[in-house]
Amino acid sequence: MARILVTGATQGLGRGTAEELLAGGHHVVAHGRGAGRLDDLADRGADVVLGDLADPEQTRDVAEQVNRLGPVDAVIHNAGVMTGPTVLPVNVVAPYLLTALVGTPGRLVYLSSGMHRGGRAGLAGLDWSGTRPTASYSDSKLFVTTLAAAVARRWARVFSNAVDPGWVPTRMGGAGAPDDLREGRLTQVWLATADDPEARTSGGYWYHRRHDDRHPAAGDPGFQDRLLDALAEHTGVPLP
């Protein structure tokens, strides 16, 4: 059984993903901002790590907490916000920092969105710190989809993929969202744990366990490198 970090595990897709993994006999490291909302997962055997991913220093501390617990086999970068100045810090900077600082798991899963296709493939003028809002949710999901592809290209021994869970009825998606919530989380569980050959591939963009088309910029090595350079400059942490 695998040992898997799930960020944003207090509710929605992250909570459902953690529960699916626990039900499958896997060991979960559940991340959240506050301990109380993860108590039931801890009672079921999950380890808990805490920190606000909008704050780079707390994100670094989350990485240290995870590393102190021991190696993880996979990381599911689920945490995200829809609007406001923290869109870039939470949706892009935090996954980058955790990727760079949490050992080298064998599998990495980054939560994207179909909305990434409307993102702007430009990095000029972005405030990665979140002091002021300079990017949309769509932009951030294009960047994290690009990050998944960049890691797949850079780290040949790691299976790195992006997942569109669909428009599902979570607090972010809204009660009227049309996609199936359980189906929305099964792809990331499958990519993090399954032994079948399709799941043991890298550089894909997935929707409900099927390959889907992504924004062309996400597959552009030049744009990937520019994004990695910008994130390394902002955080002071290059991707190993």
State yes or no: pLDDT of 179 exceeds 70.
no
Choose the catalytic residue: 110, 137, 205, 207: 137
Kindly state whether residue 47 falls inside one of the protein's structural domains.
Answer: yes
State yes or no: pLDDT of 219 exceeds 90.
yes
The count of domains in the chain is: 1
With the C-alpha atoms ordered 112, 98, 65, 190, is the resulting torsion angle positive or negative?
Answer: positive
Kindly state whether residue 69 falls inside one of the protein's structural domains.
Answer: yes
Q: Give me the pLDDT at residue 35, please.
A: 80
Kindly state whether residue 104 falls inside one of the protein's structural domains.
Answer: yes
Kindly state whether residue 134 falls inside one of the protein's structural domains.
Answer: yes
User: For the segment 49-62, what is each residue's pLDDT rounded down to a tens digit?
Assistant: 999 999 999 999 99
**Cβ(123)–Cβ(110) below 8 Å:** no
Measure the CA angle with vertex 216, ends 196 and 121; round to 5°: 125
pTM > 0.85 = yes
Mean of the pLDDT values across residues 25-39? 94
- 185: CATH: 3.40.50.720
Which of helix, strand or coil describes residue 162? strand
Tokens matching residue 208 = 């409900």
Torsions phi, psi for 167 (to 5 deg): -90, 95
- For residue 169, the enclosing domain spans 3-235
Kindly state whether residue 167 falls inside one of the protein's structural domains.
Answer: yes
141 is catalytic: yes
145-154, 182-191, 227-236 — which is least confidently predicted? 182-191
User: For the segment 104-115, what is each residue's pLDDT rounded down to a tens digit?
Assistant: 899 999 999 999
**Cβ(79)–Cβ(7) below 8 Å:** yes
Kindly state whether residue 240 falls inside one of the protein's structural domains.
Answer: no
96 is catalytic: no
Kindly state whether residue 53 falls inside one of the protein's structural domains.
Answer: yes
Residue 109: DSSP 8-state: E
Kindly state whether residue 222 falls inside one of the protein's structural domains.
Answer: yes
Report which of 219, 215, 108, 110 is spatially closest to residue 155, judged by C-alpha positions: 108
Choose the catalytic residue: 96, 110, 141, 205: 141
Mean of the pLDDT values across residues 7-31? 96
How would residue 184 be classed by pLDDT, with cut points 50, 70 and 90?
Answer: confident
Q: Chain-centre distance of CA 153, in angstroms?
A: 17
